[in-house]
Every structure is written in C-alpha cells, then in structure tokens.
C-alpha cells in the first residue's frame, strides 16, 4: 500500500498508511513514521505548524484508544525472566509523538503502560504535571529512602521502614537523583539529596554516593 500510494502520488492515501503504522507500532522500527507523516502533511499537504499540531493531537487520542484496546484484548508479554513488560502494550511511535509535540496530558495517561517512563517522557509529563513527574521518580526510590507519607512510604507499627544499608541500594538512589536532576535541575535535586542524607546521618557510604548532588 505504501509503494502504491507513493507511485500514485496520493498524499491522502500515503498519510493513512503512515497513520496505520503509528497506531499499530509495537517496536522502535516504526517510530520514523511520525516524522514521515509530519513532513508529508506539511510539505505536500500544505499544513501549517499549528495545523499539524492539531492533527498530531488527534492522532495521539487515537493511539490512546488503541492502547486501551491492547490492554483489553492482548496479553501482557514479558521479557525473558518475566520481570519487565514487553512491547505488546507499548507504542514507541506514540511515545515519539507525545515527546515531539510536548503532549503532557497524553504522557501522563500513557506512562502507566510502561514499567518506568524513559527520560523524554518524564520531561514531557513535567511540563504540565511536575508533581506527578516527581512522584514517579520518588516512587522508584528504594523502600525507606524518604521515610515519610508525603511520598509513598508509611510508617507502620512493627514494620522496619529503615533504608537497607547496601551500596547497591545507595547507587539506586543516586540513579534516581540523576533522573530527578535531568528533569528538575540541580537546585531541587540538592534539596532532595540533603533531605535523604540528613535522615541517615551516620551512613558515610550513602553520602559518598550522593556527593554529586550535595
């Protein structure tokens, strides 16, 4: 169909083919159709930047509905070992559309279909939903990092809410702080890092791992 549309110089037909690829995408090999559709409609279809954004917004809503159908009718596929979601519910072309067009609402709705949103998606969420983006990063911290119900951790009677004293645990905190810095900047990250080390003042190894942010 793509070859036929190109041979006929049929912009409308070719655009529909590209839309189909974007809607049905489940791996990164088809993400380039987002750029191809944009270029096709702007160069040969005569769309302005504003008109393309409206088209992209409508296409994003179609992708969102397609994701709902995938969740309803397609089984969740995991990678080897069964620990992470595969691409049966994920649409990398939709992710690119969201990021390219800065569709913050769509990003927030979409991220629940992935184990953890990649950095470009986090940045897009933060455009209009900064607190949600912060919660996503903080929720990925090891148990006991913050030690306060203000995030996801609660102190329960008889339950040890203390952070595990392991280097790997501290490195995971550092990893999340770097993601936090990439989205929200060094100043907010510094405040967060100080809060963590002050909660565990006697953990020298933790302070060393987080030294880059202090």
Per-residue pLDDT of the chain (214 residues; tens, 9 = 90+): 777 767 677 788 889 999 999 999 988 889 999 999 999 999 988 899 999 999 999 999 999 999 888 887 766 655 554 444 445 688 999 999 999 999 999 999 998 887 788 999 999 999 999 999 999 999 999 988 876 544 444 444 434 457 888 999 999 999 999 999 999 999 999 999 999 999 988 999 999 999 999 9
> Is 183 within 8 Å of 123 (Cβ atoms)?
yes
Where does a domain end: 80, 102, 128?
128
pTM, entire model: 0.82
What is the number of H-type helices and E-type strands within the chain?
11, 0
Q: Do 109 and 169 have their domain in common?
A: no
Q: Do 113 and 146 have their domain in common?
A: no
Q: What is the DSSP track for 171-194?
A: HHHHHHHHHHHHHH-HHHHHHHHH
Q: Do 91 and 142 have their domain in common?
A: no
Q: Which one-letter DSSP state was computed for residue 76?
A: P
In the chain, the number of structural domains is 2
Q: Is 163 exposed, middle or buried (0-12, 13-18, 19+ CB in 10 A)?
A: buried
CA distances, 72 to each of 68, 75, 94, 105 (Å): 6, 8, 18, 22
Query: Coil, helix or strand for 116?
Result: coil
Q: Do 82 and 154 have their domain in common?
A: no
- Residue identified by tokens 């392991």 is 166
At residue 3, the pLDDT reads: 78
- Residue identified by tokens 């998606």 is 121
The structure tokens listed for 149 are 């119900």
Q: Is 17 exposed, middle or buried (0-12, 13-18, 19+ CB in 10 A)?
A: buried
Which positions ≥6 away from 58 have C-beta within 8 Å? none
Q: Do 157 and 113 have their domain in common?
A: no
Cα(70)–Cα(87) distance, integer angstroms: 10
Q: Do 45 and 85 have their domain in common?
A: yes
Q: Do 3 and 43 have their domain in common?
A: yes
pLDDT tens for 138-177 read 999 998 887 654 444 444 443 445 788 899 999 999 999 9
Where does a domain end: 97, 128, 159?
128
- Domain limits at 87? 1-128
């Amino acid at each position: 169909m793509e070859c036929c549309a190109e041979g006929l110089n049929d912009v409308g037909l070719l655009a529909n083919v590209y839309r189909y690829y974007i809607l049905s995408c489940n791996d990164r090999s088809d993400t380039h159709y987002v750029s191809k559709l944009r270029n096709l409609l702007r160069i040969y279809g005569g769309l302005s930047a504003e008109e393309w954004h409206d088209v992209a917004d409508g296409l994003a809503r179609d992708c969102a509905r397609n994701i709902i159908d995938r969740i309803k009718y397609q089984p969740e596929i995991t990678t080897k070992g069964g620990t992470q979601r595969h691409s049966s519910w994920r649409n990398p072309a939709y992710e690119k559309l969201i990021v390219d067009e800065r569709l913050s609402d769509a990003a927030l709705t979409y991220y629940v279909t992935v184990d953890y949103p990649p950095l470009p998606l986090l940045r897009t969420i933060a455009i209009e939903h900064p607190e949600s983006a912060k919660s996503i990063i903080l929720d990925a911290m090891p148990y006991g990092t913050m030690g306060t119900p203000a995030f996801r951790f609660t102190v329960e009677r008889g339950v040890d809410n203390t952070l595990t004293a392991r280097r790997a645990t501290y490195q995971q905190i550092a990893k999340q702080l770097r993601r936090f810095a990439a989205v929200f900047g060094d100043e907010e990250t510094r405040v967060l890092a100080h809060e963590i080390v002050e909660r565990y003042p006697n953990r020298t190894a933790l302070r060393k791992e987080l030294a880059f942010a202090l």
